[in-house]
Structure 1
Amino acid sequence: MIEFAVNGTLMRGLELNGNLQKVGATFIREDITAPIYRLWSIRDRHPAMLRVSENGQAIALEIWSITPAALGEILLSEPAGLCIGKIILASQQEVLGVLGEPFLCEEQKEITAYGGWRSYTASK
């Protein structure tokens, strides 16, 4: 099993969480990243998180347990421009998780100050 970090619509109760449930993923815990990420809203449909070399912040996310085969299924169902990469948690543990490609964030609204997708959507 792989620990897998999600920071947007795959989280519990949100639009694409059914994709995780469909492949038998199990929720482990809520967590936060190390303060080295920034977050953008992509047309207010989903977030994209990027690792940065300066001015980063901790971002709220969830950790799920998932099989390697299911990880591939999840990646194929993610919106274009999202990818799987290594995410560093506040504890310094490294896990696989969803990141955005830089081009995806161009001309989109930065929402880092909200600290996460749930906080951003709750503010609207």
Structure 2
Amino acid sequence: MEAISLAVNGTLMRGLALNQNLLNAGATFLRETLTEPNYRLWSINDCHPAMLRVTHGGRAIAVEVWAVPTEGISSILLREPPGLCIGKVRLIDGETVLGVLGEPFLCENQQEITQWGGWRAYTAALKTEKGMRV
């Protein structure tokens, strides 16, 4: 069975809301890594992130790389929130893999969260902030 490396940066990651979509497609976790420092990240209503490749102002974003059976890619994409798509992502080690990206329109009027370096760090900060307000 042929597999494709897929970089995920949000709710498809291990233990998060949509990870079951990867598991149902027969995907296998390979590793945690970073993108090259040319990406920015937005929170889409604090439900999921959207990552875009940029020419200026980017940084490395935390991702997980999964081996996904070729026939499973479409089932994952069809279950992703609207405005997310599959594109090429360059990793910190220079490897290019397929990855989940956001369409630019999706990020309009949303909070940029690039400074946290990833979805897990951002959501951890949200939980800490909410705990401090109580």
- TM (norm. structure 1) is 0.99
State the SS of the aligned residue for 1:12: coil
* 1:22 paired residue number: 24
* 1:50 paired residue number: 52
What pairs with 1:11-90 in structure 2 (closer than 5 Å)?
11-90=13-92
State the SS of the aligned residue for 1:2: strand
Unaligned runs of 5+ in 2: 127-134
Structure with bigger gyration radius: 2
Q: Distance in 2 between matches of 1:84 and 1:58?
A: 18
Identity %: 63
Aligned residues: 124
What letter is aligned with 1:118? R
Runs of 4+ more than 3 Å apart: none
Q: Distance in 2 between matches of 1:65 and 1:119?
A: 24
Q: Which structure has greater helix proportion?
A: 2
- Could you tell me how far 1:106 is from its partner in structure 2? 0.1
Unaligned runs of 5+ in 1: none
- Could you tell me how far 1:7 is from its partner in structure 2? 0.1
State the SS of the aligned residue for 1:119: helix
Q: Distance in 1 between matches of 2:93 and 2:25?
A: 27
What letter is aligned with 1:31? T
Q: Distance in 2 between matches of 1:68 and 1:104?
A: 27
State the SS of the aligned residue for 1:86: strand
State the SS of the aligned residue for 1:53: coil
- Cα RMSD, aligned residues only: 0.4
State the SS of the aligned residue for 1:123: helix
